Structure 1
Amino acid sequence: MKAIIQRAYGGPETLEYTDVPMPVPRADEVLIRVHAASVNAADWLLMHGEPYLVRLAFGLRAPRIAVRGRDAAGVVVAVGSAVRRVAVNDEVYAEVNAGSFAEFTVATEKVVARKPATLTFEQAATVPIAATTALQGLRDAANLQPRDRILVNGASGGVGSFAVQLAKAFGAEVTAVCSTRNAELARGLGADHVIDYTSEDFTAKGRQYEVIFDLIGNRSLSDCRRALTPRGTLVLSSAAGGRLLGPIGRILAASALGVYSRQSLRPLVASASATDLDVIRELIDSAKVAPRIETTYPLSRTADALHHFGEEHTRGKIAISIWDGVTAGPG
């Protein structure tokens, strides 16, 4: 099968479009013919092997798993002997452990869910990581309630675009922080208020929020806390930080400060979940949430897609179409 692999850490130039053996599902796994994938911050960071600390888990000198990609949408073509909830020919979407930038991938049954009926495969592939992160951040970390005032810092990106919509679906009053060119996008997502970070500092406006969902990490913890109500919650979900530790320093500082504060400072580490994908599917099929795709690349140009992601402020998501005309794929 065709796939995008990486033999050494580095930039998009380290990605190869080549032939690799097809994966074989284990007893608790399904084999998915991937129709589409999408680009996430995790793909960018793991491509570079940053922060360096992650190399302890993903490979010290080179990626332990060569095929890149995490989000996938496609059709189940085989199931392991222990699989009960998913069947051959099901249209599904999932956050896989690795390997969605390929014609076929495998995933454990517990992370695979039925694809939203109202979405194309390209649209569905942009959902798993970003929407699950937004859902778990708002529902679990923030315990967002109706009429809460929430500020989303980074509202026009992949996670942010879902966070704005989910917060509105939960009945909150949403303030979106984004650039000038993305203000209309944020309003279209349902934001009640928009702050243009190029001309305003949300931490210096004097307004306070029950929840701040920080997806950028460009303001100090003390500044963010100033914009929180006395018992407000700051959810940290940013990869910002040094090349060695990444966001870990900020997380440790937040944990230490949280001990002495009535405010809650909560780092978010989202996890793949078919149950949460089922929740998101219902919201999508009821037209309460919708993915926003800036552009789509064919599998053979995945390196260009990663370059686009890293060099530009992506609006919403970047999709990868697997069947691109260059390779027809197996019949």
Structure 2
Amino acid sequence: MKAVQITSFGAADVLRINDVDRPAPRAGEVLVSVEASSVNGHDVIVRAGELKMVSGRRFPIGVGLDFAGTITATGADVAGFRAGEQVWGMVHPRQRHSVAGAAEYVVVSADRIAHAPADLSSVEAAALVVAGSTALIALRDSVHLTSGERILVRGAAGGVGTAAVQLAHAMGSHVTALARDRHAELLTDLGADEVLDYGSTTSDRIGPFDVIVDTVGTELHCYRSRLAKGGRMVTVGLSPSALAAIAASSVHGSRRIRTFSANPETPLLRDLADQVTSGSLRPVIDSVYPLADIAAAHEAFEHGGVVGKHVVTVPRDSV
């Protein structure tokens, strides 16, 4: 089978589409025929060698955090799933994988998948696995957003941002989206009550907010100062400067800057599917690339300005 791997750290041109043996599921695992995967920040920093404590230095290393596709086979002791069912899921983000989601087939533990929403294509499903899970964890489990609160979503046009705008709107909050001005129409359609142009809006001229969701990872202390009394802030845009700001903010108690690593298992993926089924969440896709062009997809992600997600499809016998 074909699988995207890296044999050295570096820019997008280190990505290789290699012929590898198709894996077989062991007890508690499922084999998924992958139809689509998306490009995530995790994929890019692993490829660049910035997450060696997770990926290790032993090559080859598989690429692709998430996937959507069809179960091909199940190992022993797997309940609730059977061959032929459409699923979505992700490999474990804190483990090394020689084959990951950007491949024709992937083996994962059965507790890392769920049935995909029936009304989504595999491309649409792949666009929501990481972005939707991250937004749901941030709003529901990290900052505990409640109806009527004022929330700022910073980096609102990206994958996590577009999901957070929709979910925050569904939760009954007043949503302010901070993004490029040209994305205002889309973000309003997704549920934003107000859209601010990040190019002309400084942090000292907005707020206060009950909740801030940051997907950028810069100037965190400036935005944290725009929290109302009892406000909460979470960032998913991690960088060395972001980690320093998070540590320094611990003295502020409830108004500290929170963060987390999204690692959804079956219950959360089911909850995410419920959000789609209820109409509270829909995928936003910037562009779709065939697996053969995954390097171009990574380059586009790193270039920035993305609206929603870059998705990679996995056509058979066409790589």
Is the CA contact (8 Å cut-off) linking 2:232 and 2:254 kept in structure 1? no
Instruction: Give unpaired runs (5+ residues) of structure 2.
Output: none
Partner of 2:43: 43
Would you say the 8 A contact 1:37–1:122 is kept in 2?
yes
Residue 266, structure 1, aligned to residue 250, structure 2? no
Q: How many angstroms does 1:265 deviate by?
A: 2.7
Q: Distance in 2 between matches of 1:310 and 1:262?
A: 33
- Superposition deviation, residue 139 in structure 1: 0.3
Q: Give how far 1:210 is off.
A: 0.6
The alignment partner of 2:88 has SS state of strand
Work out the CA distance in 2 between the residues paired with 1:206 and 1:299: 42
Distance in structure 2 (CA, Å) of the matches to 1:315 and 1:206:
23
Aligned match of 2:63: 68
The aligned length equals 313
SS of match in other structure, 1:278 = helix
Distance in 2 between the 1:249 and 1:218 partners?
11
Q: Distance in 2 between matches of 1:295 and 1:193?
A: 26
Match of 1:83 in 2: 78
Q: Distance in 2 between matches of 1:39 and 1:263?
A: 32
Distance between the aligned counterparts of 1:78 and 1:206, measured in 2?
53
Percent identity reads 34
Deviation of the 1:12 alpha carbon: 0.6
1:104 matches 2:105: yes
Decide which moves more: 181-190 or 305-314: 181-190
Distance in 2 (alpha carbons) for counterparts of 1:283 and 1:269: 21
Q: Aligned to 1:282, what secondary structure does the other structure show?
A: helix
After TM superposition, list the pairs within 5 Å mapping 1:13-28 onto structure 2.
Answer: 13-28=13-28
Structure 1, 176-185 or 27-36: larger mean CA deviation: 176-185
Letter in 2 for 1:321: T
CA apart distance, 1:241: 3.0
Distance 2:254 2:91 in 1: 37
What corresponds to 1:230 in structure 2?
A: 229
SS class of match (2:16): strand
Tell me what 2:267 maps to: 275
Q: Secondary structure at the match of 1:24?
A: coil
C-alpha distance in structure 2 between counterparts of 1:67 and 1:265, whole Å: 32
Q: Is 2:285–2:308's contact at 8 Å kept on the other side of the alignment? A: yes
Determine if contact 1:231/1:264 at 8 Å carries over to the other structure. no
What's the counterpart of residue 55 of structure 1?
Answer: 52
Deviations 1:106-132 (A, max 9, x none): 111111000111110110011111111
Which residue does the alignment assign to 2:292? 300
Which residue in the other structure is 2:157 paired with? 156
Question: What displacement does 1:269 show?
Answer: 2.2
Deviation per residue, 1:166-191 (Å, 9 max, x gap): 10111111000001222222112110
Instruction: Name the structure 2 match of 1:289.
Output: 281
Secondary structure of the 2:62 match is: coil
The separation in 2 between residues aligned to 1:40 and 1:269, in whole angstroms, is: 13
Separation (CA, whole Å) in 1 of partners of 2:26 and 2:244:
38
Give, in whole Å, the separation in 2 of the partners of 1:188 and 1:83.
41
Matched residues in 2 for 1:225 and 1:277: separation? 30
In 2, the alpha carbon distance for the partners of 1:220 and 1:320 equals 32
Q: Using the TM superposition, give the Cα deviation of residue 206 of structure 1 relative to its aligned residue in structure 2, in angstroms.
A: 4.5
Measure, in 2, the Cα distance between the counterparts of 1:6 and 1:149: 43
SS at match of 1:305: helix
Tell me the secondary structure at the aligned position of residue 229 of structure 1. Answer: strand
Contact 1:123–1:293 under 8 Å retained in 2? yes
Task: Find the counterpart in structure 1 of residue 246 from structure 2.
Answer: 251
Return the TM-score normalized by structure 2.
0.94
| Letter matched to residue 280 of structure 2 | K
Q: Who is 1:323 aligned against?
A: 315
On the 8 A contact 1:216/1:240 being kept in 2, the answer is: no
Structure 1: state its 5+ residue gaps. Answer: none
Q: How far apart are residue 263 of structure 1 and its match?
A: 2.1
Would the aligned equivalents of 2:66 and 2:130 in 1 still touch at CA under 8 Å?
yes
Is 1:314 equivalent to 2:306 in the alignment?
Answer: yes
Question: CA–CA distance in 1 between the matches of 2:54 and 2:66?
Answer: 20
Q: 1:132 maps to what in 2?
A: 133
- In the other structure, the counterpart of 1:216 is 216
Equivalent residue of 1:45, what SS? helix
Kindly tell me: are residues 206 and 317 of structure 1, through their superposed partners in 2, closer, same or farther at Cα, counting changes over 3 Å? closer
User: Which one-letter code corresponds to 1:292 in the other structure?
Assistant: V
User: Residue 69 of structure 2 aligns to which amino acid in structure 1?
Assistant: G
CA distance in 1, matches of 2:290, 2:206: 46
**Secondary structure of 1:93's partner?**
strand
* Alpha-carbon distance, 1:274 to partner: 1.4
Give deviations 1:269-296, integer Å, cap 9, x for gaps.
Answer: 2222211111111111222210001110
Q: Write the letter of the residue equivalent to 1:160.
A: G
Take 1:213 and 1:24, find their aligned partners in 2: how far apart are those partners?
40
Correspondence for 1:241: 240
User: Which SS does the other structure have where 1:184 is aligned?
Assistant: helix
List per-residue Cα deviations over 1:135-178 (Å, max 9, x = no partner): 00000110000011110011000111100001011111100000
